[in-house]
Structure 1
Amino acid sequence: MKVGSSSLTTAAGGLDSDRVDALVDVLARTRAAGTEVVLVSSGAIAAGLAPLGLSERPRDLARQQAAACVGQGLLVARYTASFARYGVRVGQILLTADDVSRRAHYRNAYRALVQVLAMGALPVVNENDTVATAEIKFGDNDRLAALVAHLVRADLLVLLSDVDGLYDGDPARPGSRRLREVRGRLDLAGIEVDSPGNSGLGTGGMVTKVEAARIATDAGIPVVLAAARHAADALAGRETGTHFLRTGHRAADHLLWLEHASSPCGAVRLTAQAVRTVAQRTGPLLAAGVTCVEGGFAAGDPVELLDERGQVVARGISSLDARELLRLQGRSTREVVPHDDLVPLPGAIASPVPEPARVRIRIRSAAEFARAASGGERSGQ
């Protein structure tokens, strides 16, 4: 379950004890029924505003980090006290985008989450805003929640909001309709999802929640987007909010990391035939299909795979370094990206491979054949 700042804090920026307790009541009952729970919680920066005398969320990174430094302790202390009413221990896990963009760190995050659950504690996950820089921030916890859901092999991702679901327009506008179910991307055609949250205390909006839902459902995890006050209904499977049905199957951990969390170290431009191969995952990428190498990546680094126009069609983990690939490109059958380390990106369309022109000529005699051949040469056919 992911909960945002606006669902935990007062308008002034401090933690709302009643809201925190209400959420903990729901999660504790769910846990007592035998379901493992991981909580991805925003609120550190918002909780630190009032103690530092700030009336609103600062825009500069340094003061955001200072607010997070003060607020994160208050946030976890409040969760610890509230869950203690049920005898539940809380374990804090702070992550930056760097922790999931590097493959080794990604595995470390997985081991930490699994061990905390195995030892009977409830993980409270948040972005480490105190040390995260603008270059390595998730930007919001919705995407983080989707990645964590995959890490722990969750059966359900619940995204709590200050809005009771996804609407086909501005929820405040008369006539806007709540979508009860989303089966895939086509159901979202024409839907306005670019408005931020209403509180001004968080960073995410509906667009980040829809993107998080896409990440999770593509990996085989259904998602419920609901208002925080309906958290119990969402966890109990009762009709509430918007239900995003899963659209894919669980991918290997490294493929989800590769698609959604990796930081490519270079790029490789491909022939039209190679684009077709990687976009349809019909085989590995061979050096013969490479036309250009960009960046100084090493073997084992993630790279972007581009079509002839420079558009990204896939990501892969290169088995060769850039220098070696430069020597082999266009003429070798060495594998650049194995089939199992390749992930096409959504919407990637393989460039068409043009068929050679064909000309039919009916031949009745050797003389006609000679005339047709010579005419064909003159016409360029």
Structure 2
Amino acid sequence: MVAVTPPATKKATKTASNNVFDAAKIIVIKVGSSLLVDEDKNAINTSWLAGIASDIARLKSAGKDVVVVSSGAIALGRRLLKITDGKLKLQEKQAAAATGQVLLAHAWMDALGAHQIQTAQILLSPDDTETRRKHLNARTTMMALLGLNAVPVVNENDTVATAEIRFGDNDRLAARVAAMVGADLLVLLSDVDGLYTANPNGSDTATHLGEIAQITPEIMAMAGPANASYASGGMVTKLEAARIATAAGCQMIICNGQSPAPLSRLEAGAKCTIFAAALTPHTARKQWIAGALTPKGTIRIDDGAAKAVRAGRSLLPAGVVAVRGQFERGDLIEIENNAGTVIGHGLSSYGSDDAAAIRGHKSNAIETVLGYRGRDEMIHADNLVISDS
């Protein structure tokens, strides 16, 4: 059975009246090329960008953390490099991305700067989101930026991520970023107002679906390709993004972003499709740590540290009495109590050699021991799962 809210019911055309923005603390907004770039002029749509900047400023004033994942670098770069005809070769895409990214970053900086909001540019490749050590580094950087009240503006590192350019899109990148930062809500702004049972541009019987409870093969079969010549993501990639986001405990919305203030319009009840998440981001991350990875090593902790981690606190080096195995920063490791019983798992902030060197030391001694100022925690509480028994 297809897990959707039936189109004939009152909820068939889903709106944002269920307060998804109100409940969300961290919101990731994905902006497609077809919205940000005027296809006829291959230039930034400055009036539209000013509108969404106002929306973001309003969310920030309400206490929300916002991350933007923005397409558009290749489209802008090909104009600046005067590559106007035909399908781009891979090296031309990379050159266009490198050129257009400068203009794209400045455009976001100016638009958000008008509201006294600081932006930060982050370029990611798939390896940065899928390799645990790089994932941890990127997550730490983005969480630090959010803590400093900045808005990270993320794009693919298209100049080096050749495989991502070939099939790539920022829908899935946005979902990976949402999972990385533990976002509560991912909004994909596009030129469509959600998912239909068939392509609404080619079918008179296509029916809008307001809410998707589960992404089934029947749902995936409803997807269609993108329209704009430089937009690499279609409905297929949006549904794949929904799989990634909802598995990470993040709700996802697909909506039409063409209006001057698309998020305000969405909050006011614009038509959209909401993909529900069964778990919270925190619970989903804890489940991933607990069951989806293979431990690479083990650390033994004293009774005081065991009591602290059971109370939900981070594990500090001072409470570690032994380190076994070879592991890198970001790897999963087991945590044993003094009796040798495994009581939990976590992502290590240090590789095994450095972990062994700082075990038993207070956090303020780490720089003296290692020669650099690392994390205060051996395992941060966000990256730590303790068993019930």
TM class by shorter-chain length? 0.5 to 0.7
In structure 2, C-alpha distance between the alignment counterparts of 1:197 and 1:50, rounded to whole Å = 21
TM superposition shift of 1:140: 1.1
What CA deviation, in whole Å up to 9, does each residue of 1:130-184 have, x standing for no partner? 2222278771111111111122221211011111111110111212111111111
Does 2:204 align with 1:174?
yes
In structure 1, C-alpha distance between the alignment counterparts of 2:288 and 2:265, rounded to whole Å = 29
In structure 1, C-alpha distance between the alignment counterparts of 2:88 and 2:175, rounded to whole Å = 26
TM superposition shift of 1:11: 1.4
CA RMSD of the aligned region, Å? 3.2
In structure 2, C-alpha distance between the alignment counterparts of 1:20 and 1:142, rounded to whole Å = 19
In structure 2, C-alpha distance between the alignment counterparts of 1:57 and 1:224, rounded to whole Å = 33
In structure 2, C-alpha distance between the alignment counterparts of 1:247 and 1:73, rounded to whole Å = 39
What pairs with 1:1-381 in structure 2 (closer than 5 Å)? Answer: 1-12=29-40, 13-55=42-84, 58-134=87-163, 139-172=168-201, 173-186=203-216, 189=218, 192-229=221-258, 231-233=262-264, 236=267, 238-250=269-281, 251-252=284-285, 255=288
TM superposition shift of 1:58: 3.9
TM-score (ref. length: structure 2): 0.63
What CA deviation, in whole Å up to 9, does each residue of 1:301-327 have, x standing for no partner? 9xxxxxxxxxxxxxx9899xxxxxxxx
Residues 237 and 247 of structure 1: is their aligned pair in 2 closer, same or farther, counting only changes over 3 Å?
A: farther
Secondary structure of the corresponding residue to residue 47 of structure 2: helix
Identical pairs, percent: 39
CA contact (8 A) 2:78 2:96 kept: yes
Higher Rg: 1
Which one-letter code corresponds to 2:97 in the other structure? A
In structure 1, C-alpha distance between the alignment counterparts of 2:123 and 2:219, rounded to whole Å = 36
Residues 249 and 155 of structure 1: is their aligned pair in 2 closer, same or farther, counting only changes over 3 Å?
A: closer
In structure 1, C-alpha distance between the alignment counterparts of 2:287 and 2:72, rounded to whole Å = 29
In structure 1, C-alpha distance between the alignment counterparts of 2:238 and 2:164, rounded to whole Å = 21
Secondary structure of the corresponding residue to residue 120 of structure 1: coil
In structure 2, C-alpha distance between the alignment counterparts of 1:90 and 1:25, rounded to whole Å = 14
Secondary structure of the corresponding residue to residue 116 of structure 2: coil
Residues 299 and 137 of structure 1: is their aligned pair in 2 closer, same or farther, counting only changes over 3 Å?
A: farther
Secondary structure of the corresponding residue to residue 274 of structure 2: strand
CA contact (8 A) 2:55 2:264 kept: no
Residues 20 and 194 of structure 1: is their aligned pair in 2 closer, same or farther, counting only changes over 3 Å?
A: same
TM superposition shift of 1:83: 1.1
TM superposition shift of 1:108: 0.4
In structure 2, C-alpha distance between the alignment counterparts of 1:233 and 1:2, rounded to whole Å = 15
In structure 1, C-alpha distance between the alignment counterparts of 2:166 and 2:148, rounded to whole Å = 29
2:301 counterpart residue number? none
TM superposition shift of 1:70: 0.9
In structure 1, C-alpha distance between the alignment counterparts of 2:110 and 2:157, rounded to whole Å = 21
In structure 1, C-alpha distance between the alignment counterparts of 2:255 and 2:220, rounded to whole Å = 17
Q: Structure 1: any 5+ residue segments left out of the alignment?
A: 265-297, 302-315, 320-338, 342-381
TM superposition shift of 1:2: 0.6
Aligned length: 272
Residues 190 and 41 of structure 1: is their aligned pair in 2 closer, same or farther, counting only changes over 3 Å?
A: closer
Greater mean alpha carbon deviation, residues 193-202 or residues 164-173:
193-202
Secondary structure of the corresponding residue to residue 157 of structure 1: strand
Residues 136 and 52 of structure 1: is their aligned pair in 2 closer, same or farther, counting only changes over 3 Å?
A: closer
Secondary structure of the corresponding residue to residue 189 of structure 1: helix
TM superposition shift of 1:5: 0.7
In structure 1, C-alpha distance between the alignment counterparts of 2:125 and 2:167, rounded to whole Å = 7
Secondary structure of the corresponding residue to residue 129 of structure 2: helix
Residues 168 and 191 of structure 1: is their aligned pair in 2 closer, same or farther, counting only changes over 3 Å?
A: farther
In structure 2, C-alpha distance between the alignment counterparts of 1:62 and 1:249, rounded to whole Å = 41
Q: Structure 2: any 5+ residue segments left out of the alignment?
A: 1-28, 295-324, 335-343, 347-389
Which one-letter code corresponds to 2:251 in the other structure? P
What CA deviation, in whole Å up to 9, does each residue of 1:254-300 have, x standing for no partner? 938x97xx9x9xxxxxxxxxxxxxxxxxxxxxxxxxxxxxxxxx976
Residues 253 and 146 of structure 1: is their aligned pair in 2 closer, same or farther, counting only changes over 3 Å?
A: farther
TM-score (ref. length: structure 1): 0.64
Secondary structure of the corresponding residue to residue 40 of structure 1: strand
Greater mean alpha carbon deviation, residues 225-234 or residues 215-224:
225-234
CA contact (8 A) 1:197 1:205 kept: yes
